[in-house]
Structure formats: C-alpha cells, structure tokens
Structure 1
Amino acid sequence: MSELINNREYRQEILKEVIRELHTGKTVDEVKAKFGKAIEGVSPSEISAMEQELVKEGLPIEEIQNLCDVHAAVFKGSIEEIHHPEEVPGHPIHTLRQENDAIQEHILENINPKLEAFRIEDSQNNINNLIEDINLLWDIDKHYSRKENLIFPYLEKYNITAPPKVMWGVDDEIRALLKEIKLLLKDYRGNKDEVVEKIKHATKQIEEMIFKEESILFPMALETLTEDEWIEIYDESDEIGYAIISPDTEWKLKRVDVDRKEKNNSLKDGYVKFETGILSSEEINQIFNAIPGDMTFIDKDDIVKYFSQDENRIFPRTKAVIGRSVQNCHPPASVHVVEKLLVDFKSGKKDSEDFWIKMGDLYVLIRYFAIRDENGEYLGTLEFTQDIAPIRAIEGEKRLLSD
C-alpha cells in the first residue's frame, strides 16, 4: 500500500512538473519525449488532483486555462485508452455524448464544406449558409450550460473545483469566438481570411473541448457522483435545453419515479408569520414566482439559498445551484466583479448596485440589494433580474381594463 501511495505522490509531482515546464516555454514534443513513460496510464482523477494542487500552490486558474489545450495534447495518448463505463440511453452523460457526436458531425458535414465554399467565393449565398450553420452551432451554449450548472456544482461538493473552473473558462472563450464570428458574418466587409481563420480556430477549440469532456470530465463525474445526484441532474436538464439534438429516449430508472412521487407529496402546509400578516409556504412560493423577474438570494457566507421560478426566467438556474458558493456560479473572468460587490455590501459601503445589458430584443436590468437585519447586520444579497424593454416602450396612459 505504501508503495502505491508513494508511486501516486511521485507521479503527481511529475505531472505538476510537466505543466510547469510547458509554462516556461518548452514544446509539447520536448515534454512528451521526457515524460511519456511517467504519464502512461494516467487517470482523470489524477489530472484533477494535479490541477487542484497547482491551484492550492498559487498558480492562477487563468494560467492553467492557457495551458489547457497543451496539457490535453500531452496526456491524450494515455487518457484515450481509459475504459469508459457504459451509460444507459437517457442518462445525462449518454445525452452529452450524443450531443458531442452531433456537434462533430455538424462541423464535419456542414460547416467545413461551406467554409471551403466561402473561402473560394465569398458570395452572399455562401455567407448566408455559414450564418445558418454558425447559428445552429451556437446551440452548444446549452450543452456547456448544463455542464456548468448541473455537473460542476456536484463535483464541487467533492472538492473537485480546479478542472471545472479551467473548463468553464475555455467554454467562455468558445462562446466569445462564436459571437465574434456571428458579428463578422452579419457585417461582412470582405475580410475573408479573418473569418476563415476565426471559424477554424473555433471549431478546433470545440473539438478539443469534446476530447476533454469525453476523456477527463465524463469519466471523473461517473466515478464521483452518486445515483441520486445523477437523478437530480436528469430532472433539471430539460430546463436548460439541449444542443442540436434532444434525448431520443427517457432514462428508465425506477428511482426517478419514486423520487418524483416523494417530491410531489412533500409538505406544503405550514405558515410563516410576518410583521404585516401570515402566509402559507405555498402562498409565499407562488407569490415569489408570480413576480415578473428572476430573484436569487445568497446568504452572508456567499452560499446560494433560494431562487424564484418565473416562467420567463432570463438566466438559467437549476436546483443544483442551491448550497453552491456564488463565486463558483460565475465564469472565472467575472468572479472579481462579484467579489468586489460583496465586499462593498458587507462593509456597508453600498446597499445596492445596478447593471443593464442588451440581449437581443431584451433590455435586461440586473439589480443587487444588500439584505440587512433590523440592527444593520449583513444577512445576504438579493439579485433581481427583469426585462425592462416592455416598460421602456410604455407611452401615454392606460386607465381601462384590457379585454
């Protein structure tokens, strides 16, 4: 046993050394030649442990993210030989893999041929064809959102935090690339080479991410998460949606039906007494859900405790977010904004903060309020998000009931 532990510790040090040497500028071939034997048979859990240690030792997530493609290439030969547990059709991982197959097929059979046609002749027809295919590829946002909002929270409960942060950062890079490509095509100005280069870069990044999911994330998640946690992920998946394809079959698991019945039979009575009245738990829940906006509350320890379920929710929320650190609910690139806001609320420097952004036809107002007790002690933060485009469009007066 001690030999096994020592071997793991030795390999852990070697793997960290691989990343450090890449960071100092060594090429992939140099590293592979030197450490090829040491990394033979490396498992996803060991890569996860390696990244955790690097973060603990002070290497920023962004640094690991910059090396993500490189170290994937280094480990590719050994990881791809790992046995993947068999998944039942309808299981969340089975669906994610089906999506990956559909995404790869879309790139190979649609985007690549039409990109080549565009490279030869940048006619309006060829531009329109590319726009159509890139718009369909943007469906990948749902795939990444399910991964980030459903699988990552459960991995965090097992203290697996570094790989999700690294992967989320790369997901956001892919999203940003696709948005940029859509704008370049919509406002095409003859910059053919730039468009071709951007699309090739985006599809390469997507294919690399598929490899990382299939070879690292999925095996690690299957090895770590319990059946009950997969049931929760399955139940929440429809709320976010699917990329390019939808599950072709329901996950046939008896526990799913049992758990749903238990949830439906959960107690809905019980009353809460306020200073200005008394409401049942059911009334409170429905009142919050009827308010035309999304509400999310985090407590004084930055833990998500509640979100409303307005049918027109702007930003996706799943029940997996409950109990999650709010810092882990945001992409690495925007965490510093969240932390600065919370520092200002906790110190009393601010009591509220507003942001507003355009999202297609939506004009989204995002408001944050510091919640304090009667003595002024900080209890948490309330986020309220609302599409104010219909309000901004109001003119004149309305004094009569609608038909």
Structure 2
Amino acid sequence: MKNLDKNHPIEIYLNENILIKGLLNQIKYINIENDFETFYNIFNHLNEVDKHYTRKENQLFPYIERYGWETTTQYMWTFHDQIRDELKQIKRKIEENKFSDITFMIEDLINNMNHMILLEETTLFPNAINSLNNTEWQEISIGDKEIGFMIDIEDKNLKNLAKTKKLEIEIDAISYDEDFLTPNQVNLIFKHLPLDITYVDENDRVVFYNNGDERIFPRSPGIIGREVKFCHPPKSVDQVLQILESFKNGKKDSAEFWINFKDKLIHIRFFAIRDENKTYKGVMEITQDITDIKDRKEEKRLLV
C-alpha cells in the first residue's frame, strides 16, 4: 500500500492490526490456569477489537459500498459477528471457571482474527485506498473518532476535523404542530432523550439518527444515505426487511423485540411513519435500555 498520511483511517487500522497480532501472539502462549491475571488482561484488551470492527461496519463499509463492494462488506460483517460470538463464549467460560475448554477456543479465535487481518490487508484496505477520494477519507475520519479506537490517537488535525461544523443557517425558530423551537433546542432535545432514534425514509435509506452521549448501538455520519439493509448485521437483515415490507403494504404499523446485549436488556421498537394521507414515509427505530426499569412494579411519586 502507498504511503499514508499520519492518522489516515487506513493507517490507524493497520496500527491496530499490529496491536491485535501482538496480543494474539501473547495470549497463545499463556496458560490461563497458571497465570490467570495476565491472560485475563490480554483477553480484555482483545475485546477492544469491537471498536475496530464497528468502525468498519459504520464508516468504511458505507463508502466502499458506493463502489460496488456490497458482497465483501456483508461477508466481513458476518465474520465480525462470528469473532464477537467466540469472544463472548470464551468470556462465559472464564466466568464459569471452565478453563480446560478455553485452550481450543483460543486457537480458533487466533486463527479467525488473523484471517480477518489478512482479508483486510490484502483485499479491503488496498481497494478502499484505490477507490475513495480525499473528501471521503476526511468524512470517515470524523465519524471514526465518534466510535473510538483500540489505540491512542493524538492528532490536532483529526481533532479539528471532528470539530468542523455543518453549514450554519440563521433561523430563529421552526414551526411545529404545537409550538416553535429553534434548531439548537431541537438538537438538545434529541441529544438528551434517554433512547436511540434512527429514521429511515420511504426509499429505505437512513436520513437521521440522534447522537446522544450513551448510544446503545453505534451510529456515525457514514450511515446517512446508506440503505438500511446494509446497516444491520447480516443475520438480522431478513427480519428487518420483513418489518419494512409489512409497514409498506399496510399490514402493520409497529413491531418490537427484546434482546440481551452486553449485560443489558434492550427494547427495540419500529414504527411506521405515514403522512396525513396515510402514505408511507418511512420507519422510525427506537432503542432503549430497560435493564433498570423492567422489574419495577410500584409507583414512585416522590422525588428522592
């Protein structure tokens, strides 16, 4: 690959790969029963690979899909999820003190993570570099910073990019059905809502997400304009598309699920959006962490 600027998104991926390979090489030779603390610390560091994969899924993939690489991105996303599942299974074995099972599981994990690095460095990254232009790389850098990295990134140019503001239009207030709000007030409301909102238009493209401080599922600017079928893990895409179809044909107006995610109970709801003529205008996805409220049965009327 050609020389890259400091903290170019691909350079960061490559530096993270160096870290991943080093961690895999270390954990390969550690006996968990003889040196549990060292093993556990390295394993926890390896779990940071989720940031690496999440940046690819939400930032890099949307851009290379514009150049016809949808099959590659979907295959890699499936592979990401396989590695994530392996990490979860090993974590479960650690919590259950079933150390004898972990040795073989670690071998599979090492092989799969090294294979992913090979796919990235021989196929994905070279093709991305040859396809994307400087403007696209700058946009990716901004969204990458929102998701985070496995390594420390200290670069003034990257920070300045993240602070770049969208074109500001002077509007005193916007009329809504019941009131007038300034754009700043609208942004503050969405930012402080205790839930995640994503809006997909009638053409199945993402046009909005709220950017709260503690999102459950990561979102970044790269998904705006992306087809919704590429915004979900491949294993759940069919179900999402079925929901959208049921909304479009008028058979349903809502759907909901509960899932366990990172030791939390997550409530996911989909609502069909229709105008005053009942014409389908898209779908709103609302995601909320209900871990702390699911078992509450009594009223609370006093502020404590």
TM-score, normalised via structure 1 length: 0.70
Q: Distance in 2 between matches of 1:201 and 1:268?
A: 56
Find the counterpart in structure 1 of residue 12 from structure 2: 95
SS at match of 1:391: coil
Residue 22 of structure 2 is aligned to residue 113 of structure 1: no
Higher normalized helix content (fraction of residues): 1
Task: Find the residue that maps to 1:200 and give its secondary structure.
Answer: helix
Letter in 1 for 2:24: I
Tell me the alpha carbon deviations over residues 192-248 of structure 1, each in whole angstroms, 9 at most, x when there is no partner.
Answer: 2x42222111111111111111111111111111111111111111221112x222x
Matching residue of 1:162: 71
Residue in structure 1 matched with residue 155 of structure 2 by the alignment: 250
Q: Is this contact kept in 1: 2:273–2:280, CA < 8 A?
A: yes
User: Is the aligned partner of 1:152 residue 2:41?
Assistant: no
Please state how far the C-alpha of 1:283 moved relative to its aligned partner.
2.2
Amino acid at match of 1:111: I
CA contact (8 A) 1:131 1:182 kept: no
Matches within 5 A, 1:127-142: 127=36, 129-142=38-51
1:188 — aligned with what?
Answer: 97
Tell whether the 8 Å contact from 1:352 to 1:367 is kept in structure 2 after alignment.
Answer: yes
Superposed, 1:4-153 pairs within 5 Å as: 84-108=1-25, 110-114=26-30, 117-118=31-32, 123=33, 125-127=34-36, 129-153=38-62
**1:321-332 counterparts in 2 under 5 A?**
321-332=223-234
Contact 2:254 2:272 in 1 (8 A): yes
CA gap of 1:151–1:388, structure 2 versus 1, over 3 A, is same
- Please identify, of 88-97 and 125-134, the stretch whose mean Cα deviation from structure 2 is larger: 125-134
User: Aligned with 1:367: secondary structure?
Assistant: strand
The residue number in structure 2 matching 1:281 is 183
Aligned mates of 1:313, 1:88 — CA distance in 2 = 30
- State the 1:185 CA deviation: 2.4
Q: How many pairs does the alignment contain?
A: 304
Which secondary structure state, in structure 1, belongs to the residue aligned with residue 69 of structure 2? coil
The alpha-carbon distance between structure 1 residues 268 and 210, as it changes in their structure 2 partners (threshold 3 A), is farther
CA RMSD of aligned residues (A): 2.2
Deviation at 1:148, TM superposition (A): 1.1
Per mean C-alpha deviation after superposition, the further-off stretch among 194-203 and 301-310 is: 194-203
Report how far residue 134 of structure 1 moved. Answer: 2.0
Matched, 1:336 2:238: yes
Among candidates 226, 234, 240, match of residue 147 of structure 2: 240
- In structure 1, the residue matched to 2:88 is 179
Amino acid at match of 2:44: N
In structure 2, what is the Cα distance between the partners aligned to 1:250 and 1:257?
A: 9
Which residue identity lines up with residue 190 of structure 2 in the other structure?
Answer: F
Counterpart amino acid of 1:103?
A: I
Aligned twin of 1:373: 275
Give the whole-Å Cα distance in 2 for the aligned partners of 1:270 and 1:221.
Answer: 42
Q: Is contact 1:135-1:182 (8 Å) kept?
A: no
Q: Would the aligned equivalents of 1:304 and 1:321 in 2 still touch at CA under 8 Å?
A: yes
1:308 aligns with 2:189: no
Equivalent position SS for 1:170: helix
SS of the aligned residue for 2:29 comes to helix
Match of 1:206 in 2: 113
Inter-partner Cα distance in structure 1 for 2:40 and 2:98:
15
Contact in 2 for aligned 1:366/1:383 (Cα 8 Å): yes
Partners in 2 of 1:293 and 1:331 — Cα distance?
20
What is the one-letter code of the residue matched to 2:256? D
* Runs of 5+ consecutive residues of structure 1 not aligned to the other structure: 1-83
Q: Offset at 1:163? A: 1.3
Whole-angstrom CA distance in 2 between matches of 1:310 and 1:382:
16
Could you tell me how far apart the structure 2 residues matched to 1:327 and 1:268 are? 35
Deviation at 1:397, TM superposition (A): 4.5
Q: Secondary structure at the match of 2:282?
A: strand
Contact 2:142 2:162 in 1 (8 A): no
In the alignment, structure 1 residue 220 sits paired with structure 2 residue 127: yes
- Preserved contact between residue 131 and residue 186 of structure 1 (Cα < 8 Å): no
- Higher mean displacement: 159-168 or 222-231: 159-168
Change in CA separation of 1:305 and 1:268 when aligned onto 2, cut-off 3 Å:
farther
TM-score (norm 2): 0.92
| Contact 1:89/1:251 (8 A) holds in 2 | no
Residues 379 and 257 (structure 1), Cα distance of their counterparts in 2 relative to 1, 3 Å cut: same
Distance in 2 (CA, whole Å) between partners of 1:149 and 1:187 is 33
Q: CA deviation at 1:342?
A: 0.9
Bigger radius of gyration: 1
Q: CA separation in 1, counterparts of 2:59 and 2:219?
A: 9
Structure 1 distance, partners of 2:122, 2:273, is: 44
* Counterpart contact for 1:327–1:339, Cα < 8 Å: yes
- 1:382 and 2:291 aligned: no
One-letter amino acid matched to 1:356: W
